[in-house]
Structure formats: structure tokens, C-alpha cells
A and B are shown apart, each in its own frame.
Chain A
């Protein structure tokens, strides 16, 4: 079985994302997220070469610029402004959570074995596994963190996973749709970033575990 450059990049990105779960330092998380996203941009570029599609090149450049540079820069600025550098962690300890993430990484290979490989040449198995693993990692990150900012990181990792899945299973969505999704993610990041500052101002913390005023009687 041959492994393409796209698949190597995707699997590297998925493993880098697993490392995010292992650290509570927000800046380390952010740096790992940026690296992971950069590999996804590389994977997109590799896929563009394999299928010789120019549309994918545009997407690769946009991902590299927006998701792996602009968004981490924005959050790095927000972390400095909020003076919050460490998450508190929830449910399971980070080292244990990281092992769970790696376990889920291998599990996703079993889960995606049954997915019919994409039409045309090539094998979509490893790509699908990488994508699903990223989704798992993102969900795990959201579960094992307490700060609002880490929840956004978790969402971004899930979004990366879904993008990877689309890239490897369908050879990329239509350009217009991909652009729309990118725009939504950007606006979502801006809106949730603004809310972070509002939460810090009203509650004097950004611990989501303590946001429990609205409850069922």
C-alpha cells in the first residue's frame, strides 16, 4: 500500500493535535494548533498537486494565512490581554487525556476501515482516519477543559478534522462552499473572541465550569 504525501501530512496534523490535549499551557496549545493547521495546509497543497486542481491551491494558501497564522495570532493577543495562561483541566488529567487521544487516534483507523474508499485512484482510508481522529481530539479537548478559550480551541480542532475528512474523501468541496465555511469560522472566532472579553469583564474569570446560573428548577 502506498501512502501519499497528503496522507502523511494529515496524520502528522492529527498526532500534533493529540499533543494539544496533553498540555494545559494555552500558548503551547495555540502553537501546536498552528503547527497542526500548517500541516493541513500542506496536505491541501499536496492534494492540489496530486489532482492538479488550482482551486485547492487557493484554499491551501487561505488556510495557511488565516487559520494557522491569523487565528493563533489573534488568540495569542487575547491571552495576553486576559492574563490567563493556564487552563485548570477537568475530569481527567492532561497526560492521561493525551494517551486517550492517541488511543482514539488508533481507534479511528478501525472505525474508518469500513468507509468505502473514494472514487478514482488512491486510497482514502488514512485520510479518513486522520479526519475522524481530529474530530475525536477536539471533542476530548472540549470535555477535559474548563476555560472558555480552550472550548474555542476544541471547536477549531473539530473543524480542522471535518475539513480533512472533506479533503480526503471528496477531493475538496466546491470552492464557493469552502470559502463560505472559512468565512463562517472566521466570524465565529471573532464573535466568540469578543464574548471571551465580555465574560472576563462580567464574571472576572473565563471558567465555563462556573457558568451555572441558568438551570432547570
Chain B
């Protein structure tokens, strides 16, 4: 009970505060403080799990966490706090460009955001596959409110697609979970169990046919939510229509949740000895996704759609890491992707406000508008494409060098090609954004506060690549 109170108290307080008559200006200052407090509380809670390598920290029945889960939990809440802090200046500027007249929408945004982040936290805290599914579905429902923030036709269409495609996809994951539950009732565990820990412990005794079917459905279902090709159609729309801080959350935190669920299920089947399923499927599908996304990157018209496809590419890389059976590798890639991508989405929000358009053709000369934006933007883009001093280079290098047998080597080749292609495509687009003459009147004056969070995230990404931080995850 204490556990539930400590995890949900601050978000619930945030929801209540945002629905009271508090002024929006006050709310913008209070909510970031609350989200950093929540980050602190969760750090305190999961500290024993971080210090201990292979043991589970049990909170109550159905809720426990181990090291990688704790890392993801903290990453998600860190990203959330950073994005909510940046939202303060984003929403203040939104008023200057003449959008977001209704303060009620912003209050609703903060309330939905708090619930969304809590739902994501429960994905990492659940030991029970059923509750994990409930949390994932809850993230879809709460984040729909974030995507619908601007209340226009485009955002409505994006929200509808997001809600329907993800709900149906996730429904198939439930079918998969039921099959895994059924597989545990054939003598492995009396009465069957949904507990991930028990399932991994008894993986050899699970009914193999049901387990394999269940795994395929889980991959399909959670894959839809992670935006795996060709089930990704909702992702660019939702990421591009949501306001920038929400796009950052969708890309930097939500995709990790879906992939983490795949990782947990993959663990069961890898231990059970049907490793062909659990390595071949994710690796080949991940490589295919990365390849397809890098082709989509070439012809892009919207700045946020560009980053959305880059996220899909990274989902492919992370799926390969999951298939290789190395959760720490998966986390390290996720960490670097989240840090850089969130910085990019937040900066893109600033740029869109200043340029007054999302179209890549219309955005030019950002270095002239604001050197600090331009330099941070270039650094974040370099980090996302895997340039050497940044963490994603180390992570991608490790993933590629981990590939051993023939199938994995072919996948590594495909990945390498996709990485090169996306590097060229992103560099060209970013070059056009940075140099040239600004085409537009500057609607929002660049301030230091609007670069602060993206800059910090870039520095963290740099630290992850150039210090001995990675060794912490790989013990």
C-alpha cells in the first residue's frame, strides 16, 4: 500500500492542482517542480535495485523491479521532467504566436501528462504481464489527450488513427499474453501464473506451442505500439501533430515502454530454449524496420515527421539489441536515443514557433536566427545519427559488434546500410535548416531558457559516449 501511495501521490496531486482554479501561469511553475520531485521519489525507491545486479526488488504482489527496469523507470521520469520543464517556456511562447488561447487546454495537458507518465512508470514496475498490458493500454488513452492538444482537424485525425490502430494492436498483445498464461497451466505452475519472474524461472516447463504463438502475438501487438514497420502508420502523424513537449515524450519515453514489454516477453522465450524464435524474429524485423525508416527519411516535408521516422529507425536498432538477448545493450541504445531525440523535438518546437511553419522547405537559416539553437540542434542531430563523441555511436558500435552468426551478420550489414543512409539524409535536411537566409519573420525571439533543457540533454548524451558510464549497465 505504501508503495502505491509513494508512486501515485505526486501525480495525483498534480492532476488535482491542474483541475482546480489555479492560474495557468502558476501551474507552469508548480508542475515542473512536482515532476522533478517525482523523479527524486522514484530514484529513492529504486536505489536498492540499481545497486544490486541480479536480484529483484519486490514492492508488493505483482510489483517488482530489477536493474534494467529501474534504469528505464528513471530514464522515463527524467525525460518526462525535462519535457515538462521545457513546456513552461514552450507554452508561454505559444501565446506569443497566437495559438493556445484557451488556458483550459493547457491545464488538461498537464493533468493528462501526469497520468501518462504514471502509467508509463507502472509498465516498468509491473511484474505481472496482465497489469503490464493494462498500463500500456492506459498510456495510449492518456497520451491521446496530449496528441489532441491543438484541437484542429489535423490533430483530430492523428489522434483518431493513434487511438484505433494502437488499441487494436495492443488487443493482439493481450491475446498473446493469454496464450502465454495458458502455456503456464500445462503443469509448469499450479493454476498458471502471469508473473514474469515465475515464467522465466519455469520457462522450460511451459507448453512450447502456446508459448510460441503467444510470443508472435505479443511481438505483433507491442510492435504496433512501438511503431515497427509496416505497423508504424500512426507514429509520424501522432508525433508530428502533438505539441513539441508531448512529441518528445511519445518518442523518448513511450516507445521505450513498448520495446521494454517486448524485451520482457523475449526473455521468457529465450530462456525456454526456443531461441530461434526469440532471436531470428526480432533481429530480422528490427533490421527491416531500420532499413524502411531510413528510406522514408530521404523525402520528408515536415520537420517533426523527419524525427518521427528517425525514431522508427532507432526502434529497429533497439529491436535488434533485444533479439541479441542483451537488455543492457537495449537500455544503452534507448538512453542515447531518448536523450538526443527529446532535445531535437524540443528544439524543433522552438524552431516551428519561430518560423511559423512545420515545412522543412520553409525553415532556413536557424544559425542566423539564433546561434545557440543552431549549435545545439546540430549537436543533437549528430547524437541521434550516431556520430562518434556521442553515446549512440558507442551503443550502435556495440550492437553491430555483438552480431555473431550468419543471420545476425546479415542483419548487421542491413543495419549499417540503414545507418549510413539515415546519416546522409538527416545531415542534408539539417544542413538546409541551419544555413541559408531565414525566409520568415521571427515571431518568437530566441531566449536562453528555451535552449537550456536541450543543451543539458546533449551534454548528457556526450557524457554517455565519452566517459566510463556504460560500464555501469554492463556488469
Contact = CB atoms under 8 A, between A and B. Distances in A.
Contacts of A213: 153-154, 157
A158 B171 contact: yes
B160 A208 contact: yes
A195 B178 contact: no
Given A165-B178, A214-B154, A116 B210 contact: yes
A49 interface: no
Nearest to B299: A217
B171 A159 contact: yes
B187 interface: yes
Given A170-B185, A203-B153, A177 B131 contact: yes
Contacts of B27: none
Contact of A116 (B133, B158, B186, B300): B186
Contacts of A159: 171
B187 A202 contact: no
B141 A148 contact: no
A180 B178 contact: no
Interface in B145-162: 145, 148, 151-154, 156-161
A37 to B, nearest CB: 16
Contacts of B144: 191, 195
Contacts of B33: none
Interface string A195-216: 1001100110000100101101
A170 to B, nearest CB: 5
A82 B70 CA distance: 47
Nearest to A215: B237
Contact of B130 (A151, A162, A177, A188): A177
A177 B160 contact: no
A147 to B, nearest CB: 12
- Chain B interface residue count: which class? 35 or more
B270 interface: no
A181 to B, nearest CB: 6
Contacts of B141: 184, 187-188, 191
A202 B153 contact: yes
Contacts of A191: 141, 144-145, 163
A214 B241 contact: yes
B54 interface: no
Contact of B137 (A119, A184, A216): A184
B41 interface: no
Nearest to B190: A119
Given A116-B207, A181-B174, A191-B144, A173 B158 contact: no
Nearest to A212: B157
A187 B116 CA distance: 14
Nearest to B188: A119
B209 interface: yes
Contacts of A199: 156, 160
A115 interface: yes
A192 interface: yes
A116 B174 contact: no
B160 A211 contact: yes
A15 interface: no
Interface in A128-178: 135, 142, 148, 151, 155, 158-159, 162, 165-166, 169-170, 173-174, 176-177
10 contacts: A119-B185, A135-B175, A158-B168, A169-B182, A177-B134, A195-B148, A208-B160, A216-B236, A217-B299, A217-B301
Interface of B: 62, 128, 130-131, 133-134, 137-138, 140-141, 144-145, 148, 151-154, 156-161, 163-164, 167-168, 171, 174-175, 178-179, 181-182, 185-187, 192, 194, 207, 209-210, 213, 236-237, 240-241, 296, 299-301
The 8 closest A-B pairs by CB, nearest first: A177-B130, A180-B134, A184-B137, A166-B178, A119-B185, A169-B182, A214-B237, A211-B157
Interface of A: 114-116, 118-119, 135, 142, 148, 151, 155, 158-159, 162, 165-166, 169-170, 173-174, 176-177, 180-181, 183-184, 187-188, 191-192, 195, 198-199, 202-203, 208, 211, 213-214, 216-217
Given A115-B213, A169-B182, 10 more contacts: A165-B178, A181-B134, A181-B174, A183-B134, A188-B140, A192-B164, A195-B159, A195-B163, A199-B160, A214-B161
